[in-house]
Structure 1
Amino acid sequence: MSARLEGRVALVTGAAGGIGAAIARGMAAEGARVVVADVQDGARTVGEIEAAGGQAIAVGCDVAEPDQVDAAVAAAVEAYGSLDVLVNDAGISGGSGPAHELDVETWLRCVAVNLTGPFLCVRAAMPHLLASGRGRVINIASTYGIVGAPWAPAYCATKGGVVNLTRQLAVDYSPLGVRVNAILPGYIDTDMGGYRASLGPEGAAAANARRDAAAALQPIGRQASAEEVANVAVFLASDESSFMTGAIVPVDGGCTVTFRHP
């Protein structure tokens, strides 16, 4: 364990698994006390952090519900006395298919989680981030927030919203001492929302093979690990990124630069 985030408190949404869990582990390894916030049970992530010598607690939180968000932030401050870092990672896929076949309920739920969720978390956390004197907001968007993608209208729209929300928040809060940046993951080897797990072994293997094939077309021809995204989040939370705000940082193997063509 090193100490780039020693003495800081980080609230990470969507941290029961995937990228969020990797970010929570990474920040704890750098000395932060971490609040694992998720609709799923965060005990496993907390256990991993504690086993490595870090400090963490888990709180249940649906980021689309204002009361639950307020309660999660309050729990963080009650447990650790302050809040220095907010990571908005919680997100859902928003269905698959063209816009004219997407049901309204799926669209509204995707907006509620992926876009309203970060707003609610910022709204609840900002007074504490301002008070800390070293506040950080790190939004986990997606490469799909800056490019179009097949059969993903809700996901693309909401992640695009997160990208520009990041820029807007940086304008308002950076003069007050809170830096706001976004990470755009590309093909990351996680099972978002348990999609692959629901397919059974053969279906999951086929789904991952499709992702591997797409990732192979990138300049860096593979999927990333969640830890490779977490490393960037830790950097953005630390003083090493002291002149960065409003930055939109792709962690995508070059996929938004170009794909290699046969």
Structure 2
Amino acid sequence: MTRLEGRVALVTGAAGGIGAAIAVAMAAEGARVVVADVKNGGATVATIEATGGQALAVACDVADPAQVEAAVAAAVDAYGGLDVLVNDAGISGGSGLAHEVEVEDWLRTVAVNLTGPFLCVRAAMPHLLASGRGRVVNIASTYGVVGAPQAAAYCATKGGVVNLTRQLAVDYGPLGVRVNAILPGYIDTDMGGYRAGLGPEGAAAANARRNAAAGLQPLGRQAGAEEVASVAVFLASDESSFMTGAIVPVDGGCTTTFRHP
């Protein structure tokens, strides 16, 4: 038996990056996976099905309550229930000093990064309670526990996800649903397609800057998305049975020491 055999997982932001890695890893552990994203999740589904797994792609903007409700309903209709919710969908929120941030950009970042996980929990929780083994895994960020240059919206929303995780653990632990969060650090993904718009040379330079910053951490490198995914699988499985409200860094040690620009 694999660790998530017979379970149904809904993973938001799963068309690429960390979310896709989590969806693939959970399917490999026996879960039937719903890939929810504003982008086409067909490639993630194809990867899962190529190794004999079961997956379904649904279009979902997590800031839209109706689309969230529809994604949860699609999971329940297709697979008969819901056991695991992974809130991965997020946006960078742009950069700039707080007084330079456009109000529309701030509101959109809050809507996706913080209201989105709330809406997903709100829609999924009745089914997670009914399953008897409900799990929520929130993908926050190291920027949710430290300040970072010119990232007011991102830091604020990821900090909100951290404390939302703790609050949900208080309410739902006695009811049998465990809620934990992961703090990814420097992960080798192109969040929001930023590097994709820079051209080959610009993308290489941007990634070189990230590698240089990651090199100052105790482990001295960026992580692969699959290294975050393995922790998500652990938190969704029975192996983490006495963990709830935990905020788990997967950051190469970057939050243990000073980080340089």
Check whether TM > 0.5.
Answer: yes
Look up the match of 2:163: 164
Deviations 1:37-93 (A, max 9, x none): 000000000000000111000000000000000000000000000000000000000
The gaps in structure 1 that reach 5 residues or longer are: none
Write the distance in 2 (CA, Å) between the matches of 1:254 and 1:170.
Answer: 25
Look up the match of 1:5: 4
**1:44 and 2:49 matched:** no
Write the distance in 2 (CA, Å) between the matches of 1:54 and 1:238.
Answer: 18
**1:70 and 2:69 matched:** yes
**Cα RMSD between the aligned structures?**
0.8
**1:211 and 2:210 matched:** yes
Look up the match of 1:249: 248
Letter of the structure 2 residue corresponding to residue 227 of structure 1 = E
Look up the match of 1:53: 52
**CA contact 1:14–1:20 (8 Å) conserved in 2:** yes
Q: Secondary structure at the match of 2:69?
A: helix
Write the distance in 2 (CA, Å) between the matches of 1:259 and 1:105.
Answer: 32
How far is the alpha carbon of 1:149 from its aligned partner? 0.1
Deviations 1:189-229 (A, max 9, x none): 00001000011111100100000000000000000000000
How far is the alpha carbon of 1:186 from its aligned partner? 0.1
How far is the alpha carbon of 1:259 from its aligned partner? 4.1
Write the distance in 2 (CA, Å) between the matches of 1:20 and 1:39.
Answer: 12
Letter of the structure 2 residue corresponding to residue 140 of structure 1 = I
Q: Secondary structure at the match of 1:181?
A: strand
**CA contact 1:25–1:48 (8 Å) conserved in 2:** yes
Look up the match of 1:109: 108
The gaps in structure 2 that reach 5 residues or longer are: none
**CA contact 1:219–1:259 (8 Å) conserved in 2:** no
How far is the alpha carbon of 1:260 from its aligned partner? 7.4
1:155 to 1:260, Cα distance in 2 relative to 1, 3 A:
closer
Write the distance in 2 (CA, Å) between the matches of 1:3 and 1:240.
Answer: 12
Deviations 1:92-124 (A, max 9, x none): 000101000000000000000000000000000
Look up the match of 2:142: 143
Letter of the structure 2 residue corresponding to residue 44 of structure 1 = A
Length, aligned pairs only: 260
Write the distance in 1 (CA, Å) between the matches of 2:190 and 2:80.
Answer: 34
Write the distance in 1 (CA, Å) between the matches of 2:28 and 2:156.
Answer: 34
Write the distance in 2 (CA, Å) between the matches of 1:114 and 1:235.
Answer: 23
Q: Secondary structure at the match of 1:24?
A: helix
Look up the match of 2:98: 99
Look up the match of 1:232: 231
Q: Secondary structure at the match of 1:256?
A: helix
